[in-house]
Amino acid sequence: MFVSRNIVRMHDTDMAGIIFFAKQFRWAHDALEDWMYQEDLGFHSLFTGEEFAFVIVHCEADYLAPVQVGDPLEVRLHIAKVGKHSFTVQYDILRAGKELIGRCKTVHCTINPRTRAKLPLPDAFREKLLRYLRED
């Protein structure tokens, strides 16, 4: 499991504590980027047209509790599934590391950035994914 920390900002929610739906995905994606940087996965190469790229082919979110501006958030990332061409990331979003306020899931597929054809996951990347695998 990888843990990323964030805070609920004014632009994330209204005064009733209702999250704008896209914000939960932003917190999840920020955690994914933090994890990729920590694991030295060459995140920058995904945007320079090199050997492969990852595209999101599915995403979903569950909103479980309201939040308030200033709430500290902890996003716990783990890999839920590793396939031949794709991997699934599960994100648990907790207030102050205690109360589960939301969950996200994203499915990423490996493609050739020039042809857009799917590719097998690179072996070195697959190995790093497997270190964070937690099947529920």
Could you give the residue numbers annotated as active site?
14
Beta bridge partners of 70: none
Which secondary structure element, helix H or strand E, spans residue 110, and what is its range? strand 99-111
Amino acid found at 80: A
Beta bridge partners of 93: 75, 102
Identify which of 26, 63, 35, 18 has the alpha carbon closest to the alpha carbon of residue 125: 35
Secondary structure of 50-102 in HEC code, one letter for each residue: CCCEEEEEEEEEEECCCCCCCCEEEEEEEEEEECCCEEEEEEEEEECCCEEEE
